[in-house]
Structure 1
Amino acid sequence: MTLRILTAAALFIDAGVHIHLAPGYQAASPGGIGQGNLFLLESAVAVLAGLWVLLRGSRAAYAAAFVVALSAFICVVAYRYVDIPAIGPFPAMYEPVWYFEKSLSAVAEGAGAILAAVGFARAGRRSASTAQS
Structure 2
Amino acid sequence: MNRRALLRATAGAFGVALAGCAATGGDRPTPTTVAPVASDLVRSGIGPFPHGISVSNPGDDSVSVTVRVSRDDDLLYRKTHRVPPGDTERTVAGITEGSFPEGNRTVRIEFASGDRTRGVTVEVHDCLGDVICSVGSDGLDVIYSIC
TM class by smaller structure: under 0.3
TM-score (norm 2): 0.23
Comparing both structures, which one devotes a greater share of its residues to strand?
2
Comparing both structures, which one devotes a greater share of its residues to helix?
1
TM-score (norm 1): 0.25
Structure with bigger RCO (C-alpha 8 Å, 6+ apart): 1
Q: Over alpha carbons, which structure has the higher Rg?
A: 2
